[in-house]
Chains A and B, each alone.
Chain A
Amino acid sequence: MLVTFFDIFIVQFCENERKGLLFMYLLRRILYFGCFLSVLLHAQSVETMLQEFNVKNDLSQKTIDENKGHLILFTREKLEQMHAKTLKDVFKTTPVIYYHENRYALPDPLAGGSFSPYLSNFIRLYVDGVEITQGWMGSGLLLYGDINIDFVDHIEFYYAIPSFETSVEPAYLTIFLYSKDPNRDNGGKIDLVQGSRGYNSQSLSYGETTDKLSYMVNLSHTDAKREKVSNGTNRPLSRDFERTQLFSYIKSDKQFAHLQIMEKKTDALAGLSLDATPLVSNIDYLNLHFDYGITLSEHWKAQFAFEWLKADLALEDDTPLIYLGSLFGTRFNAVSKNSTYSAELTYHEKIGDHHITAGIKDRLKKLDSVSVEGYGDMPLNFTSENIGSVFFQDQYALSERELLTLGLEYSRLTRNYMIKDDDLLQLRLGYIFTSERWSYKTYLYRTMFSLDPFSRNFDPSTLSDVPPQATVGITQEIAYTPENYRLRLMLLLMRDQDGLLKNGASAKTRYFFSIVNYDYTFDTRNALHMQLYYANYQDIFNLHKLEDYSGYFSLMNGWGNFDFYNGIVWHQNSIDHTNYFDLTSTISWNATENLTLTLKGDNLLDKAKRSDLQRINPLNGTLLTPLSISPIDRRITVELEYTF
């Protein structure tokens, strides 16, 4: 009808004009094309509405707090497309601090292959807003850094120190895992994975919502047969592990409780062998976490958490062990137990344009016992550390689109035995601007870290006073988000004073990071993600200057009943300028609404990033050639996923 009307109008208008015929012809063609386009757009409108509904109602939209820092988000959709089965699958793509394992084959990005014990207490890990502490070990990353994430809906990585509302101890990077909601994942799911070298995992989940309660249970088992590491002997280093993990919660409108249990039996790679040729190197862990939270009123919230960790160590070498050799010689079979209790009470108030949060927190870390085979229970000196904190945070709305945030936290760390107490003062000042398409945020902060109890106990030289590290930093982020894509630039500048990671005589490391993200969405099933990272460190790891580059490019596609994911992570640094590429590819066949089969390849090029594991000749104390090890195994897996 529209075309006919315009045809008549144009014919009348141009009836005496010879050129009008050509004009009319062209206009008619344009109108036909316009109508065709209109029909096409109309047909896509349901998809557009679904896409908008999808993005705006993603569960992550309920948990994201832009004031926590600079965010890298893995939505449920993205995790599903990546077929990420463990936190490691995600962690290996996040810049600044990438996934690495220590000489005990545990997730520990900041320790790398050094002789130092667990050092990643600058990275904090939370599940549903509650920190997993693992007490004496520094941070929950120890066991949860490569956890099975079948119970997880989405993951948030925040850079810069987190808001004091969420943190008890300071951090550079905070990882938040949020569990699935039975409102969207009602019913059960079975997930079976079989892979190279006999790698296999099984996971069973069930969740349900009733009128007043919702609950979820996930039980998983992983038998990780991993690549061996040649150490020049006929006993290559092993890092296989077997993990059984329970995650469960029950929650109502105002209360929640989580229970998590994990048993992980590990082959501990080089363990305490100086030259990385252990005769025996096994550590078994048993971890229990329980927490309870309650909203007491409109203003008050309270939370309590308990954590217990048992480590059963069997370590033996033909030469004296690192750190312990002078006491126990070449063999150390021991069981250690530690407990952590955390409690916090927070108060929220809105006064005009101020959003005020204040609270008190306390965390007690106890080393319960260490029992050594042949020696019995060891007399322990340093067994207790208490962190008491008080914080105040004001978020003031300067306008409808601008927020000014100010935070202040004072913590007192008290320890038994002869170890000096520490006073930590942290400050955080931020400005956030947001509009329909543009956003900008900047933070200026001063944070302080003290040496973790585990490091103090493990290395007697650090039982003496170690001054806390102070870090000052400024960070900025600008993002532009039109309809189909998002472009973001993040800049971070930091400087340490009295750095805990010693660097020869200097402990004043300076860091500069920049991250660029570009995410383009073609439609509901097709998207690409690109990320570039550059870092420049001054005075770090006994180097005057270190430059670090990386990139991550991924394509997610859907066609019929098939989904495809291809992602590549690239690394290079100024030490050896070697290029590393970690290619992950998956093909999924959604056979029915309930059944999906997936073929996945990890590290397909076998060129994933490697790091050095340091070795010393125990006979003469000279440095041996380090072992070059990648924490990412080359692996092909087949996965069956069934929902009911």
Chain B
Amino acid sequence: MRALLIFMVLWGHLYAMDTRSTLNLYQDLLSSLIPKKVIRVYVPDQELHDVFTHSVSLIPVSQLQEADIVIVPNKTVYERITSKLASQKVSKFPLLFATDYHLLDKYPDVIGALYWRKGRSQLLFINSRLKKYGISLPDKYQKYSVERL
């Protein structure tokens, strides 16, 4: 067991995403969008899903209709999710948040994205889309929002 820490430090590839920094950011970010103590998140990306299992405020759910928000990683998943939501009679659509800029650019129902650009993480919200859901971002996130792309 004592080997665990040193191996964690020496071989990052054993642990694909850093749990602490990822949760720290997502917890703050998602609670700014959804004012709930416990937020139910649909996370198709396995790495991110594994990270979210360590959170007490972000609960990964397996059913799309139970989710407050969906973290969409790519086009294939987006298309699958939206067609599933359209075919089911869901009382309330979950928010869609992407990890790819192209999805934010292409699909008007994606409200924001945390993505990578040139090796640097980027955060971007679209105000006009947030308004449709009655979401007003806290001040600290205002600099990461634009009216439109």
A53, A63, A354: which contacts B25 (Cβ < 8 A)? A53
Contact B25 A50 (CB under 8 A): yes
User: Which residues of chain B come closer than 8 Å to A66, judged between CB atoms?
Assistant: 9-10
User: Which residues of chain A come closer than 8 Å to B2, judged between CB atoms?
Assistant: 353, 397, 399-400
Say whether, besides A46-B28, A56-B18, A397 and B140 are in contact (CB < 8 Å). no
Q: Is A185 an interface residue (CB 8 A)?
A: yes
Contact A46 B7 (CB under 8 A): no
Say whether, besides A53-B21, A77-B118, A77-B119, A434 and B9 are in contact (CB < 8 Å). yes
Q: Is B139 an interface residue (CB 8 A)?
A: yes
- For B11, the closest partner residue in chain A by CB is A65
Say whether, besides A61-B12, A65-B11, A353-B2, A43 and B21 are in contact (CB < 8 Å). no
Most buried by B among A45, A49, A78, A80: A49
Give the shortest distance, in Å, between A516 (CB) and chain B (any CB). 23
User: Which residues of chain A come closer than 8 Å to B77, judged between CB atoms?
Assistant: 211
Contact A76 B123 (CB under 8 A): no
Q: Is A75 an interface residue (CB 8 A)?
A: yes
Contact B10 A593 (CB under 8 A): no
- Chain A positions 130 through 162: 1 when the CB is less than 8 Å from some CB of chain B, otherwise 0: 000000000000000000000001100000000
Say whether, besides A400-B5, A403-B6, A434-B9, A76 and B17 are in contact (CB < 8 Å). no
Most buried by B among A352, A354, A397, A432: A397
Most buried by B among A42, A78, A184, A350: A184
Say whether, besides A209-B74, A401-B6, A593 and B117 are in contact (CB < 8 Å). yes
Give the residues from 34 to 66 in chain B that come closer than 8 angstroms, CB to CB, to chain A: none
- For A181, the closest partner residue in chain B by CB is B116
Report the separation of the CA atoms of residues A58 and B115 in the bound assembly, to the nearest whole angstrom: 12
User: Which residues of chain A come closer than 8 Å to B5, judged between CB atoms?
Assistant: 400-401
Give the shortest distance, in Å, between B146 (CB) and chain A (any CB). 10
Q: Is A62 an interface residue (CB 8 A)?
A: yes
Report the separation of the CA atoms of residues A63 and B12 in the bound assembly, to the nearest whole angstrom: 7
Report the separation of the CA atoms of residues A593 and B119 in the bound assembly, to the nearest whole angstrom: 14
Report the separation of the CA atoms of residues A67 and B76 in the bound assembly, to the nearest whole angstrom: 38
B3, B13, B115, B123: which contacts A62 (Cβ < 8 A)? B13
Contact B140 A434 (CB under 8 A): no
Say whether, besides A80-B118, A184-B116, A49 and B21 are in contact (CB < 8 Å). yes
Contact A434 B6 (CB under 8 A): yes
- For A77, the closest partner residue in chain B by CB is B119
Contact B117 A63 (CB under 8 A): no
User: Which residues of chain B come closer than 8 Å to A53, judged between CB atoms?
Assistant: 18, 21-22, 24-25, 121
Q: Is B84 an interface residue (CB 8 A)?
A: no
User: Which residues of chain B come closer than 8 Å to A80, judged between CB atoms?
Assistant: 118-120
Give the residues from 77 to 120 in chain B that come closer than 8 angstroms, CB to CB, to chain A: 77, 100-102, 105, 115-120
Q: Is A369 an interface residue (CB 8 A)?
A: no
Give the shortest distance, in Å, between A393 (CB) and chain B (any CB). 13
A78, A79, A593: which contacts B101 (Cβ < 8 A)? A593
Give the residues from 24 to 50 in chain A that come closer than 8 angstroms, CB to CB, to chain B: 42-43, 45-46, 49-50
Contact A187 B13 (CB under 8 A): no
Report the separation of the CA atoms of residues A185 and B25 in the bound assembly, to the nearest whole angstrom: 21
Contact A210 B76 (CB under 8 A): yes
Q: Is A455 an interface residue (CB 8 A)?
A: no
Q: Is A186 an interface residue (CB 8 A)?
A: yes
- For A183, the closest partner residue in chain B by CB is B73
- For A154, the closest partner residue in chain B by CB is B119
Contact A46 B144 (CB under 8 A): yes
Contact A79 B119 (CB under 8 A): yes
Q: Is B20 an interface residue (CB 8 A)?
A: yes
Most buried by B among A53, A66, A67: A53
Report the separation of the CA atoms of residues A62 and B100 in the bound assembly, to the nearest whole angstrom: 20
Report the separation of the CA atoms of residues A597 and B102 in the bound assembly, to the nearest whole angstrom: 20
Q: Is A633 an interface residue (CB 8 A)?
A: no
Most buried by A among B20, B118, B139: B118
Contact A43 B139 (CB under 8 A): yes
Contact B9 A56 (CB under 8 A): no
Contact B100 A186 (CB under 8 A): yes
- Using a CB–CB cutoff of 8 Å, the interface residues on chain B facing chain A are 2-7, 9-13, 16-18, 20-22, 24-25, 28, 73-77, 100-102, 105, 115-121, 123, 139-141, 144, 149
Given contacts A56-B18, A77-B119, A397-B7, 18 further A-B contacts (CB under 8 A): A49-B21, A49-B25, A50-B123, A53-B21, A53-B24, A53-B25, A57-B17, A60-B12, A63-B12, A67-B10, A75-B119, A80-B120, A210-B76, A211-B77, A352-B3, A354-B3, A355-B7, A403-B10
Query: Which 10 A-B pairs have CB atoms at the shortest separation, nearest pair first?
Result: A76-B119, A77-B119, A397-B3, A56-B18, A80-B118, A61-B12, A184-B116, A56-B21, A400-B5, A353-B3
27 contacts between A and B (CB under 8 A): A45-B28, A46-B140, A46-B144, A52-B21, A53-B21, A54-B120, A54-B121, A57-B22, A62-B12, A62-B13, A64-B11, A76-B118, A76-B119, A80-B119, A183-B73, A186-B74, A208-B74, A209-B74, A211-B76, A352-B3, A353-B3, A355-B3, A397-B2, A403-B6, A432-B6, A434-B10, A593-B105
